[in-house]
Structure 1
Amino acid sequence: MSEANARAGMFSSPWRHRELLVSMIQREVIGRYRGSILGLLWSFLNPLFMLLVYTFVFSMMFKLRWPQGSGSRTEFALLVFAGLLVFNVLSECMVRAPGLILSNANYVKKVQFPLEILPWVVLGSVLFHTLASLLIWLVFHLVFFGLPPLTGLLLPLVMLPLILFSLGISWLLASLGVYLRDVGQVVGVLTTSLMFVSAIFYPASAFPPAYQGLLHLNPLILIVEQTRDVLFWDVVPDPITWFCGLLASGAVAWLGFTWFQKTRKGFADVL
């Protein structure tokens, strides 16, 4: 596949198969809670319970405070929760990706089925639950602190590099998971480790100066910090920094998609 086709295919394929994509995302979201009494309500209850847990553990048991914040327990919990909104998008895509083709092996032998949209299906489901979590965050912020700053409207732009990066990693891991079954185990360890080095439970400034450069090699750091900037501190992300992050994430997405398309021919033989 040529570079031009790869770049176009990343977005033209989900557009061409948009009806199928929407249908599969709906099935993915609904299927997650199939058989439960509360159904989709769990999409809102789960983040609510987790927010209450974070509030209790980090602000009451550990008595932690955010350096530039007001020091309230609820604010600390909301700051942590905002970081987790970002982390959960990437981590769930990463964890699901290695088994994505394996769990949909019946589609592999269907010549006309667009396997490349499967990471889009996972991403769509993840973003639905992220939106539900964001609504819970917004309700708590409204109750305790009032309206968030207007910069919060920039959140979709802040998340765009994360979306591209998650797609690229998903295509890469989905392909590797077919040929190397241990990838899923490795990814599980990596995502757990990633949570503790992504400034989720602390500001990036808390790291010693000697490690700041190394810390920012983690692509999540910048997005987590920008998310807190727009949701809490009324700070507009630096356009140049954001654009550089977008270009880097776009490159990861293109590389992941190209790799997936080049290796998909062997999926049927392995499965």
Structure 2
Amino acid sequence: MNAVSINPISAFGAYRSLVLELTKREILGRYRGATMGLLWSLISPFLMLMIYTLAFGYIMKSRWPGTNGSTSDFALILFVGLIVHGFFAECMTRAPLLIVGNTNYVKRVVFPLEILTWSMVFSALFHLAMNMVVLLCLKVYWHGEIHWTTLLVPLVVLPLIVLAIGVGWIFSALGVYLRDISQFVGVLAAAMLFLSSAIVPPESIPQTYRWVFELNPLTLIINQVREVVIWGRLPDWTALSIYSLFALAVFLVGFYLFQKLRRGFADVL
């Protein structure tokens, strides 16, 4: 029988060192054997930005409302959207296979399965941090400054982290019983990119369809990260507070759904 935590926070508090060790193993394992190792965590987002900037900035001549129309401004704004989406998409697409891919933890040992989601999210958070380093380096190179409001990025992103953990628990538990869910989540992650403010300015969307973009859980966070990093303005604390309550609700529902469904993991796997 697997160890069960009595509340969501104890899953991390009681096994903090194990979570960090699993996170470290995930990060290093991803780049094991690569000649440049962890440097790829900085190179990959830079290459990704070049491709998107070439496609949207130079070929399609896209420009962002409220800017001076320069390609560098468009690239920075675009990159923020890709960073936030990349973090959440990594958590979503990996979650359905999280338990299925670690059957030894389910069947052979007493193991707190819920911490697998914590380590998955922390691994994605590491890559988000590396992407932010690239973003800030480009900001200094093109604009020669970093706004002090950039220090608020962790507070802005925190609700999304809480949401990602809750979603991770939900999809990892459902993935044990519904194997096709991983295919659905992949499509959903792609849809969330194009139906958010990551690539398309919501102002350019007809009012009839704008609600789809506004309901996307990535749109608010993307916009607020842009506010503090690109524009140097304070975030909308009221909107973030409401978002945090929603994220906390998903977090709690995800945890208790995971705890309920985990009883049958061994039988299915």
Fold conserved (TM > 0.5)?
A: yes
Match of 1:25 in 2: 23
Match of 1:238 in 2: 236
One of 189, 192, 196 as aligned partner of 1:191: 189
Tell me, which stretches of 5 or more residues in structure 1 are unaligned?
A: none
Question: What pairs up with 1:48-59 in 2 under 5 angstroms?
Answer: 48-59=46-57
Give, in angstroms, the shift of residue 111 of structure 1: 4.9
Question: What pairs up with 1:90-239 in 2 under 5 angstroms?
Answer: 90-239=88-237
Number of residue-to-residue matches in the alignment = 266
Structure 1 contact 204–225 (Cα < 8 Å) conserved: no
What secondary structure, in the 3-state scheme, does the structure 2 residue paired with 1:158 have? helix
For 2:12 and 2:119, how far apart are their aligned partners in 1?
9
For 1:41 and 1:180, how far apart are their aligned partners in 2?
36
Match of 1:270 in 2: 268
- Identify which range, 254-263 or 47-56, moves more after superposition: 47-56
Tell me, which stretches of 5 or more residues in structure 2 are unaligned?
A: none
Match of 1:74 in 2: 72
For 2:42 and 2:232, how far apart are their aligned partners in 1?
26
How far does the alpha carbon of each residue in 1:36-91 deviate from its partner, in whole angstroms, 9 at most, with x for none?
11111111110111122222222111111111112111111111110111111111
Change (3 A) 1:215 1:59: closer
Aligned residue identity for 2:261: T
Give, in angstroms, the shift of residue 16 of structure 1: 1.1
For 2:204 and 2:146, how far apart are their aligned partners in 1?
24
What secondary structure, in the 3-state scheme, does the structure 2 residue paired with 1:58 have? helix
Instruction: Report percent identity of matched pairs.
Output: 44
Aligned residue identity for 1:218: N
Give, in angstroms, the shift of residue 213 of structure 1: 2.9
- Identify which range, 204-213 or 143-152, moves more after superposition: 204-213
Aligned residue identity for 1:119: T
Match of 2:34 in 1: 36
How far does the alpha carbon of each residue in 1:111-162 deviate from its partner, in whole angstroms, 9 at most, with x for none?
5211000011111111111111110111111011022222211111110111
For 1:60 and 1:212, how far apart are their aligned partners in 2?
26
Aligned residue identity for 1:206: S
What secondary structure, in the 3-state scheme, does the structure 2 residue paired with 1:113 have? coil
Give RMSD over aligned pairs: 1.4
Structure 2 contact 194–200 (Cα < 8 Å) conserved: no
Q: Which runs of 4+ in 1 moved over 3 A?
A: none
Give, in angstroms, the shift of residue 261 of structure 1: 0.5
Aligned residue identity for 1:255: V
Give, in angstroms, the shift of residue 110 of structure 1: 4.2
One of 230, 240, 256 as aligned partner of 2:254: 256
